[in-house]
Amino acid sequence: MGTSTIGSPATVRTAAGQDRDPSQYDRPRTITRNGVEFTQWDCSRVIVDGPPEIMQILVSVQYNGISQPEGIKDTVSGTLDIRQFELPVDIRVNDHLREFNPVDGSVVIETVTVYNSVGKRTIQTSDQGRIASVGWPLSEWDCYEVQQMTPPERIIRAPDEIPYSYEANPY
């Protein structure tokens, strides 16, 4: 695996450390929307860069949990609300396994949305102040398969290594 320094050469792997040929997946992939660069590193990592007007990032995630009210194991969603960061910001959703507490496996990204102001937002009520948003290629990159795998401890940053303030909102 490569270094965590942005822009350094690195062997691309999924968050779960799969040993597949990275050229099979067309990643990392950078998408630019309204001046914001979203580098889709893998199923569980994004690097966001752009104008200094970016004040908040809302990451929609999914993972294996217990659905309510059914009480059965199912894919559930949550959000990671990110504030107080420096651009570019490296977001790895599996750094937040403790907060999301999946029944098994890992956390994968569904969408990432950036805003020009800070506010109490949910995925359903998040239009005001939106600068840009991008969805993840979940099927194309086999993210549903990755979601079933437990990421190795060595790729998860300690809480004091996470470069932003956040609030995790599990399902």
pLDDT in tens, 14-71: 444 445 555 555 679 999 999 999 999 999 999 999 999 999 999 999 999 988 888 8
| Length of the chain counted residue by residue | 171
Residue type, 141: W
User: What integer pLDDT is reported at residue 72 of this predicted model?
Assistant: 86
User: What integer pLDDT is reported at residue 127 of this predicted model?
Assistant: 79
User: What integer pLDDT is reported at residue 17 of this predicted model?
Assistant: 45
Residue type, 151: P
CB 47 within 8 A of CB 39: yes
The CA angle 164-167-170, to the nearest 5 degrees, is 135
Return d(Cα 95, Cα 44) in angstroms, integer: 9
The answer, as to whether pTM is greater than 0.75, is yes
Return d(Cα 17, Cα 74) in angstroms, integer: 23
User: What integer pLDDT is reported at residue 125 of this predicted model?
Assistant: 66
Q: pLDDT digits over 82-131, tens only?
A: 999 999 999 999 999 999 999 999 999 999 999 999 988 876 666 789 99
User: What integer pLDDT is reported at residue 12 of this predicted model?
Assistant: 34
User: What integer pLDDT is reported at residue 9 of this predicted model?
Assistant: 31
User: What integer pLDDT is reported at residue 117 of this predicted model?
Assistant: 93
What is the average pLDDT score of the chain?
A: 85
User: What integer pLDDT is reported at residue 7 of this predicted model?
Assistant: 34
